[in-house]
A and B are shown apart, each in its own frame.
Chain A
Amino acid sequence: MSNIAKAFKSGKAFIPFITVGDPDVETTKKAVLAMVENGADLIELGIPFSDPTAEGPVIQGANIRALAGGITTDKVFDFVRDIRKETDVPMVFMTYANVVFSYGAERFISTCKEIGIDGLILPDLPYEEKDEFQPLCRQYGVDLISLIAPTSKQRIAKIAKDAEGFLYIVSSLGVTGTRSQITTDLSAIVKVVRENTDIPCAIGFGISTPEQAKKMAGLCDGAIVGSAIIKLLEQHDTDAPKYIGEYVKSMKDAVRSCI
């Protein structure tokens, strides 16, 4: 069983996201440990990119702050090496294709394996371009996570068939960020996914409240939350880990209560 599969084996998963180095790596470390303590099942670590085209203003802000603080891909790797001494929670990187490509795909992906990163989410790498990194990901045993969007329609089946790790279902049109309502017919999407794969799927984009998390996780195997956590960092800066811990607990409790 891959490490990612473990995240889903004891009920619905709660998957928080955080940008590494926002505002500094010490704060990220405390925040990640607070997430783990409070029940996070899988953690998405964002490697900042200068021009994150899939992100709304909140996560764009985190990218800018982290880069301004001097974070680099090498420093993110060091951060993971350090935090892996304290937790074996499944962790994946979320970044953009150019960050992997420019580092040297093999050098990047082999380092993921070495430091204990279980998967890779690249929002600008659709199904048709997976060959850019998929063979290396398979070679080193790092799951390349596929995404499905509300517009995927006839593409859902083929994406699901080839998916590895877990499937990331994008809840709504547009970029990341909190939404008061999610109107996509997600159960119809999940149904097609289930017909084509046994791997777990989680819904992300727009989820911020425990009620939303409960509803979304109820439709699939887990809920992913990013912008709401970044907002806590915006608000509380280096004091944010405490609030992030409390928030993750409330979200995990909500997700756990789904049947």
Chain B
Amino acid sequence: MNESKGRFGIHGGQYIPETLMNAVAELEEAYNHYKNDEEFNRELKELFNNYAGRPSRLYYAKRMTEDLGGAKIYLKREDLNHTRAHKINNVLGQALLAKKMGKTRLIAETGAGQHGVATATAATLFGMECVVFMGEEDTIRQALNVYRMKLLGAEVIPVKTGTATLKDAVSEAMREWTSRISDTHYCLGSVMGPHPFPTIVRDFQAVISKEIKEQMLEKEGRLPDAVLACVGGGSNAIGAFYHFIDDESVRLIGCEAAGRGIDTFETAATMNVGSLGIFHGMKSYFCQDEYGQIAPVYSISAGLDYPGIGPEHAYLHDIGRAEYVPVTDEEAVCAFEYLSKTEGIIPAIESAHAVAHAMKLAPTMDKDQIIVINISGRGDKDVAAIARYRGEDLHE
């Protein structure tokens, strides 16, 4: 009997070329060793605290709470981390692991550019080479991040195939990995791809929910009633959910990018419009046609513009433990502006999808109930695109 690894219910697995099988096995073995290694954990904690700036704050959004007139709203400020997003948590973990494995080169895919910037940063910090694959379309939408990566010494390769967005960047990074394995670690940016990536990335991001839980108990003496996070591949969401999965009183809500609406083809809301499939190394839900051709998805957010979702989310959906709701471009842009104006916090357009759903949910809840929104990143990178959406050209 063959042994399929890394399953979350029926999802997950290792659907990758034979060429990569020993590479993922080697990665799994190294991870299983180092995750319990005292020295590794001490080094990682040091990096989290003194380089990335953890723990990130849990902020009570008083004005937003009063304005919406329902549940108490807390913001988990992952946007305050070094490199401005939650992505650094995973990257520091994987880069440290890669270094211990003797790798000298990191490759990564990126959508909005946040994971690429984080990988370029970690590569610099660890004295490693770095190559980032980014859809050509995204290099235009997120030109600022392209320049940041170059400034950090990374090579950015625009991917022109397919829809020239995140999925194509993942495909190209996988192709690159099959051609150069011995010195190269593929620093995958989300809880997706073949085992052991969904588990490794989740474990490094789980620091988010560990902190939320501690901070919430300290501030309120109880657990929140709902935790909200945006979902593309799903790394910030799984990070925010993980330590609450066994606390059944806590609703876990993933906010998907609906683009122009789930009744249109211009959407990336995988749980709402997708079906079961096998792609990018995993079995999970994907936006695809009846013949299994992957759909050209769309969202205003380059970071959520992905036709699949991580296998653990697919499982949490199947067992009804987490809910996945669609949020349109328009709703996300309104939330982007709303949080800027009520709290003086400009969220990433990705995170604004979670803010948008909180704006609908909070007024339906009691005042003694509590919502936590994971603000996975900050919105500086999006300002020009939002201005354009509102018909203003900033001549960048």
Q: Check if A83 is an interface residue, CB within 8 A of chain B.
A: no
- Contacting B at CB under 8 A, from A35-51, are 49-51
List chain B residues, Cβ under 8 A from A129.
2, 4, 13-15
- Name 13 A/B residue pairs within 8 A (Cβ), A-sorted: A53-B174, A53-B175, A54-B17, A57-B161, A96-B278, A99-B291, A124-B15, A128-B21, A129-B15, A147-B18, A170-B19, A174-B178, A175-B178
Whether B22 is near chain A, meaning CB under 8 Å from some CB there, is: yes
Q: Which of A129-144 contact B (CB under 8 A)?
A: 129-132
Chain B proximity of A32: nearest CB distance (Å): 21
- Indicate if the CB atoms of B279 and A51 lie closer than 8 Å: yes
Interface residues of B in 267-281 (CB under 8 A from A): 275-281
| Chain-B contact segment, one of A150-158, A214-222, A245-253 | A150-158
What 1/0 flags go to B131-153 for Cβ under 8 Å of A? 00000000000000000000000
On whether the beta carbons of B181 and A49 are closer than 8 Å, the reply is no
| Residue of A whose beta carbon sits closest to that of B296 | A50
Name A126's contact: one of B14, B174, B178 (CB within 8 Å): B14
Chain A minimum-CB-distance residue to B160 = A57
- From B175, B278, B293, A97 is in contact (CB under 8 Å) with B278
B18–A174 touching, CB < 8 Å: no
Contact between chains at B291 and A127 (CB < 8 Å): no
- Binary CB contact string for chain A from 82 to 115 against chain B (1 if under 8 A, 0 otherwise): 0000000000000011111111000000000000
A149 lies within 8 A of chain B by Cβ? yes
Is A209 in contact with chain B by the CB < 8 A criterion? no
Bound-complex Cα distance A159 to B243 (A): 39
Q: Chain B contacts of A170 at CB under 8 A?
A: 17-19
The CA of A96 and the CA of B293, in the complex, are separated in Å by 10
Indicate if the CB atoms of B22 and A152 lie closer than 8 Å. yes
A67 to B168, CA, bound (A): 17
By beta carbon, the residue of chain A nearest B15 is A124
Q: Is the CB of B178 within 8 A of A54?
A: yes
Interchain CA distance A56-B290 in the complex, whole Å = 25
Q: Is B105 an interface residue (CB 8 A)?
A: no
Q: Which parts of B9-37 form the interface with A (CB within 8 Å)?
A: 13-23
Q: How many residues on A have C-beta within 8 angstroms of the other chain's C-beta atoms? A: 44
With A151-B18, A151-B20, A152-B22 known, 16 other A-B pairs at CB within 8 A are A51-B162, A98-B288, A99-B292, A102-B277, A102-B292, A103-B291, A124-B17, A126-B16, A127-B18, A129-B13, A147-B17, A149-B18, A149-B19, A159-B18, A174-B175, A174-B179
A125 interface residue per 8 A CB criterion: yes
A129 to B1, CA, bound (A): 10
The answer to whether A152 and B21 touch (CB under 8 A), given A53-B280, A101-B278, is: yes
| Contact present for B14 and A128 (CB under 8 Å) | yes
The number of A-B residue pairs with CB atoms under 8 Å apart is 128
Q: Is B100 an interface residue (CB 8 A)?
A: no
- Docked complex Cα distance between A177 and B328 (Å): 41
B176 CB, nearest partner CB in chain A, Å: 8
Query: A: which residues have CB within 8 A of B?
Result: 49-51, 53-54, 56-57, 60, 64, 67, 72-74, 96-103, 123-132, 147-153, 155, 159, 170, 173-175
Q: How many residues of B contact A (CB 8 A)?
A: 41
Please report the C-alpha to C-alpha distance between residue A100 and residue B1 in the assembled complex, in whole angstroms.
22
Neighbouring A residues of B63 by C-beta, 8 Å = none
Q: Decide if B341 is an interface residue (CB 8 Å cutoff).
A: no
Q: Tell me if B4 and A131 are in contact (CB < 8 A).
A: yes
Bound together, the chains give a CA A173 to CA B276 distance in angstroms of 30
Contact of B2 among A73, A128, A151, A173 (CB under 8 A): A128
Cβ-defined contact, A50 with B2, below 8 A: no
Q: Does B62 contact A (CB under 8 A)?
A: no
Complex contact A101–B292 (CB within 8 A): yes
- In this complex, what residue of B is CB-closest to A122? B15
CB <8 Å contact, A127 and B21? yes
Q: Which of B13, B18, B180, B278 contacts A98 (CB 8 A)?
A: B278
CA distance A170 to B19 in the complex (A): 8
Which residues of B are found within 8 Å of A72, using beta-carbon distances? 291
B17–A98 touching, CB < 8 Å:
no
Are A128 and B19 in touch, CB under 8 angstroms?
no
How far apart are the CA atoms of A128 and B18 in the complex, in Å? 10
Instruction: Tell me if A51 and B294 are in contact (CB < 8 A).
Output: yes
- Of the candidates A103, A124, A174, the one whose C-beta lies within 8 Å of that of B16 is A124
Q: A53-B171, A103-B292, A173-B178 are in contact. Are A151 and B19 (CB under 8 A)?
A: yes
Please give me the 10 A-B residue pairs with the lowest Cβ-Cβ distance, nearest first.
A102-B292, A174-B179, A149-B19, A98-B292, A50-B293, A97-B278, A149-B18, A50-B294, A147-B18, A98-B278
Q: Are B288 and A128 in contact (CB under 8 A)?
A: no
Q: Flag if B181 contacts A151 (CB, 8 Å).
A: yes
Instruction: With CB as the reference atom, state the residue of chain A lying closest to B279.
Output: A98
A151 x B4 contact (CB < 8 A): no
Question: What is the bound-complex CA distance between A124 and B17, given in angstroms?
Answer: 5
Closest Cβ neighbor of B288 among chain A residues: A102
Q: How far is the CB of A113 from chain B (nearest CB, A)?
A: 20
Whether the pair A51, B2 counts as a contact (CB closer than 8 A) is no
Q: Is B4 a contact partner of A128 (Cβ separation < 8 A)?
A: yes
Task: Tell me if A173 and B181 are in contact (CB < 8 A).
Answer: yes
In the complex, chain A residues whose CB is within 8 Å of the CB of B286: 98
Q: Does B367 contact A (CB under 8 A)?
A: no
B167 at interface by CB-CB < 8 Å: yes
Residues of chain B lying within 8 A (CB to CB) of residue A147: 17-18
> In the complex, what's the smallest C-beta–C-beta distance from B298 to chain A, in angstroms?
15
The verdict on B263 contacting chain A, using a C-beta distance below 8 Å, is no
A98–B162 alpha-carbon span in the complex (Å)? 17
